[in-house]
Chains A and B, each alone.
Chain A
Amino acid sequence: GAGVSQSPRYKVAKRGQDVALRCDPISGHVSLFWYQQALGQGPEFLTYFQNEAQLDKSGLPSDRFFAERPEGSVSTLKIQRTQQEDSAVYLCASSESGGAVGELFFGEGSRLTVL
C-alpha cells in the first residue's frame, strides 16, 4: 500500500499479557517513530529509528516497552506484562528524511485495551 500500515487495528489484552504491535512504514522511508495517544490527548513520543538504528527511546514509559526495526523497514513495538495504564492508541509514523522535520506520515494506529 501507499501509506503506513499498522496491525492489529484493535487489540484487547488481559492484564499481564504480552502484546506486539506491527508497523509497515512507507517503502524507502528512513525515519520511523512510535507515539502513544491516550483518549483526549495529543500523541506522545515513544521512540525513533533512523533505518535500523534506534536513536532515541527516551519516551518509552518503562522497561516493559521495547521496540525494534531489525532490517530498517518493518518495526514492532512490544509491551510486556501489560497494565491498564497501557491502554491507548499506538501510532506509527514514517518520514523520508532523518529526524522529525518535514512531513510525518502516520498510520491509523493500533488501539490497545488492557482489561
Chain B
Amino acid sequence: GESVGLHLPTLSVQEGDNSIINCAYSNSASDYFIWYKQESGKGPQFIIDIRSNMDKRQGQRVTVLLNKTVKHLSLQIAATQPGDSAVYFCAENTDTDKLIFGTGTRLQVFP
C-alpha cells in the first residue's frame, strides 16, 4: 500500500512490548482529545477519546493519559502486536466542529 507519511517520527518496538506514543497539543482551551490509527492506504480509525475533565481513560489494550498542565497527551498500547503497526495521530477539539490533528507518529512492530 501507499505510505501515509515518509518522514514521520518513528517508534520501533518489539512484539509483546508496551508502546507509548506522545503528543503535544497546541490549544489550552481544547476540551476533547482523540487518538486515531491510520494504516497505509486507509482512512484514520478511531481508537480512544478523552475529555479534559479526565486524566486517564482505558480501553482494550490502550490507555490515554492527559496532562493539561503541560498540554501533553499519550497513548499507551499494551502487548504491542504486528497489527498495531500504523501511523498514530492525536487530535484536539475546542468545542467546535473541527478536529485539529497532530503530525503523527509511525509505530513499527518487529518480531
Contacts and interface: CB of A to CB of B under 8 A. Distances in A.
A104 B98 contact: no
A12 interface: no
Chief secondary structure at chain A's binding surface: loop
Interface stretch (B14-22, B63-71, B73-81, B99-107): B99-107
Given A40-B7, A106-B44, A56 B101 contact: no
B93 interface: yes
B110 interface: no
Contacts of B27: none
Interface string A36-49: 01011111110010
A104 B97 contact: no
A91 interface: yes
A107 B5 contact: no
Interface of B: 2-8, 32, 41-46, 49, 89, 91, 93, 96-104
